[in-house]
Chains A and B, each alone.
Chain A
Amino acid sequence: MTETGIDLVKDETPATPGTPLLEVRDLQVEFHTREGVAKAVNGVSYSVEAGETLAVLGESGSGKSVTAQAIMGILDMPPGRIAGGEILFQGQDLLAMTEAQRRKIRGNKIAMIFQDALSSLNPVLSVGYQLGEMFRVHKGASRKEAKARAVELMDRVRIPAAKDRVNDYPHQFSGGMRQRIMIAMALALEPDLIIADEPTTALDVTVQAQVMDLLAELQQEYRMGLILITHDLGVVADVADRIAVMYAGRIVERGDVREIYRTPAHPYTKGLLDSIPRLDQKGSDLYAIRGLPPTLTSLPAGCSFSPRCDRAREICVTERPLPVTVLDAEGAPVPGRSSACHFWKETLHG
């Protein structure tokens, strides 16, 4: 990778063994609106290890993207405000850092891939310029070197005839190719963590398969941690190692992808999985979670999901369930598995 002659040795800060790559602890983000304070993220904790894919699953308004923006430090403040919590990256709290320190980490160590590549790229600058900017700004590369590196990157994400296309503008590329450019930009400085916010939602299925394949391959190669934010249960099943399911600003369930798909321990997760049309349901009604997600300015006192839940009892309305470790059939705790439901046992075992 150093054929162009610029020194790209990463300034490795060896993390203490055992600390996860990224750890979000009890994060709280509020938005001050005319209707009151909207608690978009309400005590979210999760962690990602190097080389691991964590899928954050949730519907619109669940707080999954706001959490990602807080990690990246690109949250609009105001109206947003981080009301509490810590974001530890390689053991250091990002929220305690100065803007200058964060700027060094952003792009360099944590990079983000956005949903809509067309509106995330600058339409009046060539893609080569925009890719090269990463090297000029962060590494002090010259224009010529930067361009050479941009071509290399475009080759890396398999854009055909990269050399000829480096001076093209974003509108000259197709949707799939633009998303590849976004991936190339995120990979440019070989970050340790990539946050992909709905990276394939705007793409067609055949192109989505290409892009997800590429992302998975590059992640393996560089041993990056990946936070995949999505609402697509199919994509999650395909690529994730672990899942965190979010509902109304909280994580309701978390654990290994296979275990959750096989035996969900939260009624919301179960409802989502049940609402996917299956072959044997043809001709009958689909399972549908009734009602609507709550407004974030007036969350119910107990469990946020209780008004829509088939299992809800008295206690669900009065008392907010805290995440508890899920136990398997023999009563042994399942590592990394938790559910925030008073009736997780009943949900898990049918």
Chain B
Amino acid sequence: MADTTREPILEVRNLVKHFPLTQGIVFRRQVGAVRAVDDISFTLYPGETLGIVGESGCGKSTVAKLLMNLERATAGEIFYKGDDISKLSGRALKAVRRNIQMVFQDPYTSLNPRMTVGDIIGEPFDIHPEAAPKGDKQARVRELLDVVGLNPEYINRYPHQFSGGQRQRIGIARGLALNPEIIICDEPVSALDVSVQAQVINLMEKLQDEFGLSYLFIAHDLSIVRHISDRVGVMYLGKMVEIGSDTAIYDHPTHPYTQALLSAVPLPDPDAREGRERIILTGDVPSPANPPSGCRFRTRCWKAQDRCAEELPLLAVPQRYADADTAVAHDSACHFAEEKPQVTHA
């Protein structure tokens, strides 16, 4: 379980990533920017799982890339154990990266088809020789295969000889190789079949207990995120709109977008079909290159008023719940944040 009294292991402050939009071939002029991530802050504590949910284009994968330093942040800081890592490069960056690893979404494209499983899982040792086991590297790779539930005899096989679920296990073994403290999982099970998803989720939970890992778990499947996360953040169009404990987000959501998102998820219960109030949002997510003024959700929100267009709502505990002692008192970026009792989720 997460220990929130301890120092955060990762702290993100006012993180911004704008991708420039340019025009012209010889003289490239910047004509605008895709605001993929726009001023996001959150913390991750040791041993905890923070789930990030949101629809495609909300910037959740960009956050993952920024944390890994695969993309440079336009502004903002990322503190790893108190040190800002967002501006590091070269040797210093390499040293930090050892402790933050990533598991990717698509197990079919994230493994090199021309490398054997042993080479894939052992590659981190070539990049970080200081972390490589003394002596027999092969033995350590076999051990890792065993840890993720694969037969250690498979060390000389190639990725195409494995199924999707097995490949995702290989990706996880590669992530574990350097004994990292944080693993960033970007949609780790969404490419897998339903019956295999549960296997991989169970494995990830087991590994977290065993190695004391912190997970940043990015996914769009709300029921899986609820199952695995201690805290959950909801993103919309580059902004964090609501963040809190899993009970806060799933049982007491106060942001209209979270409420709509939860109510839109079809429940696996035919008897719940009637009598369930659903919020069907109209329209599509606006373009992040040209987001609405004020609150970004206002164009699809049923509560929107003039104030929403003029004033950007801040992510904070809503005034009306400031004194509440329950899960409802959590950060929500809405001028009219209020619980909606009918919203339920499995």
Q: Are A231 and B260 in contact (CB under 8 A)?
A: no
Contacts A272-B194, A286-B227 given; does A237 touch B205 at CB 8 Å: no
| Residues of chain B within 8 A of A10, CB atoms compared | none
Which chain A residues lie closer than 8 Å to B193 at the CB level?
59-60, 231, 293
Say whether B194 contacts A231, CB under 8 Å.
yes
- How many Å from the CB of B217 to the closest CB on chain A? 13
Given contacts A237-B269, A286-B201, contact A209 B194 (CB under 8 A): no
Q: Is the CB of B202 within 8 A of A281?
A: no
Q: Are A204 and B220 in contact, with the CB atoms below 8 A?
A: yes
Is A78 part of the binding interface, using a Cβ–Cβ cutoff of 8 Å?
Answer: no
Mask: chain B, 241-279; 1 = CB below 8 Å from A; 0 = not: 000001000000000000011001111111111000010
Please name all residues of chain A whose beta carbon is closer than 8 Å to the beta carbon of B268 when the two chains form the complex. 233-234, 236-237, 261, 273, 276
Please give, as numbers and ranges, the residues of chain B lying within 8 Å of A59 by CB-CB distance: 193-195
Indicate if the CB atoms of B266 and A206 lie closer than 8 Å. no
Q: Determine if A282 and B194 form an interchain contact, defined as CB atoms under 8 angstroms apart.
A: no
Give every chain A residue within 8 A of B17 (Cβ-Cβ).
none
What string of 1s and 0s marks CB contacts (under 8 Å) between B280-305 and chain A? 11101100000000000000000000
Residues of B89-122 whose CB lies within 8 A of A: none
CB distance from A333 to the nearest CB of B (A): 21
- Please classify the interface of chain B as helix (H, G, I), strand (E, B), loop, or mixed, using the class held by over half of its residues: helix
Proximity bits, A232-254, B CB within 8 Å = 1, else 0:
11111110100000000000000
Chain A contact-residue range equals: 35 or more
**Min CB gap B260→A, angstroms:** 6
Docked CA distance A290–B271 (Å):
29
Contact partners of A275 in chain B: CB under 8 A? 194-195, 197-198
Q: Is the CB of A210 within 8 A of B280?
A: yes
Known: A59-B195, A174-B284, A232-B266. A278 touches B201 (CB 8 A): no
Cross-chain contact A258 with B271 (CB below 8 angstroms) = yes
Residue B327 at the chain A interface, CB threshold 8 Å: no
The answer to whether the Cβ of B346 comes within 8 Å of any Cβ in the partner chain is yes
Find chain A residues with CB under 8 A from B346 CB.
276-279
Separation in Å of the A276 CB from the closest CB of chain B? 5
> Does A205 interact with chain B (Cβ within 8 Å)?
yes
The size of the chain B interface, using a CB distance under 8 A, is 41
B197: which A residues are within 8 A, CB to CB? 275
Task: Find chain B residues with CB under 8 A from A234 CB.
Answer: 265-268
A289 within 8 A of B: yes
Pairwise interchain contact A233-B227, C-beta atoms closer than 8 A: no
CB contacts (< 8 Å) of B272 on chain A: these are 237
Contact A271 B202 (CB under 8 A): no
**CB proximity of B67 to chain A, nearest CB, Å:** 23
Contact with B along A148-159 (1 / 0, CB 8 A): 000000000000
Q: Is B181 an interface residue (CB 8 A)?
A: no
- CB pair B284–A288 under 8 Å, yes or no, is no
Instruction: Tell me whether A205 and B199 are in contact (CB under 8 A).
Output: no
Pair A206/B205 contact, Cβ less than 8 Å: no
Encode contact with B along A253-288: 1 for CB under 8 Å, 0 otherwise.
Answer: 000011001100000000111011111011001111
Contact A277–B226 (Cβ < 8 Å) = yes
Q: How far is the CB of A85 from chain B (nearest CB, A)?
A: 26
Question: Do B284 and A289 have beta carbons less than 8 Å apart?
Answer: no
Chain A residues near B195 (CB-CB < 8 A): 59, 271-272, 275, 288-289, 293
A262 to chain B: which residues have CB within 8 Å? 271
Within 8 A of B (CB), among A283-317: 285-290, 292-293
A231 closest partner in B (C-beta): B194
Does B267 contact A238, Cβ atoms closer than 8 Å? yes
Using Cβ atoms and an 8 Å threshold, which residues of chain A touch B34?
A: none
Cβ of A186 < 8 Å from any Cβ of B? no
In angstroms, Cα B196 to Cα A280, docked, is 21
Report if A213 contacts B (CB, 8 A).
yes
Question: Quick one: which of B56, B223, B226, B270 contacts A204, CB cutoff 8 A?
Answer: B56
Assuming the contacts A174-B284, A176-B284, asked whether A288 and B199 have C-beta atoms less than 8 A apart, the reply is yes
Give Cα distance in the complex from A213 to B246, angstroms. Answer: 28
A286 touches B198 (CB 8 A): yes
Tell me, in angstroms, the Cα distance from A292 to B198 when the chains sit together: 12
Chain B residue with Cβ nearest A308: B195
Residues A257 and B270 in contact in the complex (CB < 8 Å), given A206-B55, A231-B193, A278-B346: yes
Contacts of B163 in A (CB 8 A): 292-293
Tell me, yes or no, whether A45 is within 8 Å of chain B by CB: no
Whether a CB of chain A sits under 8 angstroms from the CB of B315 is no
Asked if A134 is an interface residue, CB under 8 A from chain B, the answer is: no
In the complex, B233 has a CB within 8 A of chain A: no
Contact B55 A282 (CB under 8 A): no
Cβ contacts B51-89/A at 8 Å (1 or 0 each):
000011000000000000000000000000000000000
B246: chain A residues at CB < 8 Å are 282
| Residues in A neighbouring B227, C-beta threshold 8 A | 277, 281-282, 286
Known: A174-B284, A210-B280. 10 other contacts (CB 8 A): A174-B285, A204-B220, A234-B267, A237-B269, A238-B273, A261-B269, A281-B227, A288-B196, A289-B195, A292-B166
Can you list 22 A-B pairs with a CB-CB distance of less than 8 A?
A177-B284, A205-B265, A206-B55, A206-B280, A207-B284, A208-B266, A209-B266, A209-B281, A237-B267, A237-B268, A237-B272, A272-B195, A275-B194, A275-B197, A277-B224, A281-B227, A282-B226, A282-B246, A288-B198, A288-B199, A292-B196, A293-B163
User: Which B residues fall within an 8 A CB radius of A?
Assistant: 55-56, 163, 165-166, 193-199, 201-202, 205, 220, 222-224, 226-227, 246, 260-261, 264-273, 278, 280-282, 284-285, 346
Chain A residues engaging chain B, CB cutoff 8 angstroms: 59-60, 174-177, 204-210, 212-213, 231-238, 240, 257-258, 261-262, 271-273, 275-279, 281-282, 285-290, 292-293
Minimum-distance CB pairs A-B, first 6:
A234-B266, A277-B227, A288-B198, A204-B55, A209-B264, A275-B198
